[in-house]
A = this chain, B = another copy of it.
Amino acid sequence: MTKTLRLFDLAGAELDRRFSPYCWRIRLALAHKNLPVETIPWRFTEKEEISPSGQALVPVLVDGDQWIADSWTIANYLEDKYPNAPSLFGGPAGRSLSRHYSDIADGLVRAMFPFVVLDVLQHVAEKDRDYFRASREKRANAKLETVVSDRDKRLPDFRASLAALRFTLKSQPFLGGDQPLYADYAVFGPFQWARCVSPYALLEKDDPVRHWRDRLLDCFDGLGRQTPAYDA
């Protein structure tokens, strides 16, 4: 199969450091569907390059003359456009049930933000640094240094907030059961984001959530390991 698909994929100062939690959902979804893709390294300030998508955030998938934005929209597009490839959802009910996992994953990004945001800043491209700091400090209404300053104190609460996820992943290897589904890729995204930019140990070594994350890193010939990351 030729690589007809292209994906704008957030890159850091190093072109191969791909750290977007949203792009990783789609990287794994494409692999799940056996769809080769050409990833195009993209920086925060390169809004013009993805303007045909009608918005300014990645992931953006280009399939022929179609530009598709938003990870949940892209996942649904792939499921519908490539119905004979392995299913991301496992049927209509599974698709509906997957939606909340996408929203859970968005919540995890918000929850991890005050732990890793200063580490993200260390890794964004030079030309993105001012934009990144300004936009994130506006969102947080605080200096990034202040945002992360008490992270050690907040860590136990963050880890406790993963209790339900931890419980499920003690009961079955993946959220999708014996094999991963889109629900797994969505929730994996934030954890992959964190390990790509931060040495901070959000998860304990023996956390079932970490073991699950590592199983996902092993999937698709270790696709998730093909980017610089920390052993965190």
Interface residues of A, Cβ cutoff 8 Å to B: 87, 89-101, 103-104, 106-107, 110, 163-165, 167-168, 171-172, 174-178, 181, 183
Contacts and interface: CB of A to CB of B under 8 A. Distances in A.
Contact of A103 (B106, B110, B168): B168
Contact of A167 (B96, B106, B164, B183): B106
Looking at A89, A93, A167, the one whose CB has the most chain B CB atoms below 10 A away is: A93
B89 A93 contact: yes
B94 A163 contact: no
A230 B224 CA distance: 50
Contacts of A183: 97, 100
Contact of A99 (B103, B106, B171): B171
B90 A93 contact: yes
Contact of A90 (B91, B163, B171, B172): B91
Given A91-B91, A97-B97, 16 more contacts: A87-B93, A89-B93, A90-B94, A90-B96, A91-B94, A92-B177, A93-B94, A94-B94, A95-B177, A97-B175, A99-B171, A99-B172, A99-B175, A103-B168, A104-B164, A107-B164
Contact of A177 (B93, B101, B104, B171): B93
Given A97-B183, A103-B168, A90 B87 contact: no
Contact of A93 (B107, B165, B171, B181): B181
B99 A168 contact: yes
Nearest to A100: B168
Contacts of A107: 163-164
Contacts of A175: 96-97, 99-100
